[in-house]
Amino acid sequence: MAKLSINIGVLLIILGFFSYIASDMVSLTALIPSAFGIVFVGLGLLARKSDDLQKHAMHAAMLLALLGLGGSFTGLRQIMTALFGGEMPARFTAASSQAVMAVLCIFFLIFGIKSFMDARKTGKE
């Protein structure tokens, strides 16, 4: 789980920088995925550092993923609407960045829940 947190974090950092460049470096909000990514990487490194901290760090990462999904879900909805014949979002770059962030957060949540369920079955709570 710690490795996944670090990998998702790196992807979010890259997403934020590409979004910032795509917005002609005008909108600092395009860097929001990078901020989330830095925290994901930090939590992943913290989880690797100590077995005692792993459980707490991964729970915090799951909460972060849930918050990230909540904040970026609108972009995912806008892109899905456009893909199925609806109106194209006014700020396509922002909506695309939000959609990618939402998908990464969903991916992390799914694998995190599976990991927690597996840990409970094996008694490694």
The count of structural domains within the chain is 1
Q: 111 is written with which tokens? A: 């694998």
Return mean pLDDT, the chain.
92
**pLDDT (tens digit per residue) in 70-99:** 999 999 999 999 989 888 888 888 999 999
pLDDT the model gives residue 27: 84
Distance of CA 67 to the CA centre of its chain: 9
pLDDT at 52 over 90: no
DSSP character at residue 30: G
Instruction: Indicate the pTM of the whole model.
Output: 0.89
pLDDT at 117 over 60: yes
Residue of 77, 68, 120, 117 lying closest to 96 (CA atoms): 77
Q: Is 96 helix (H, G, I), strand (E, B) or coil?
A: helix
Segment 8-18 mean pLDDT: 96
**pLDDT (tens digit per residue) in 54-64:** 989 999 999 99
Q: Which structural domain range is residue 87 located in?
A: 2-122
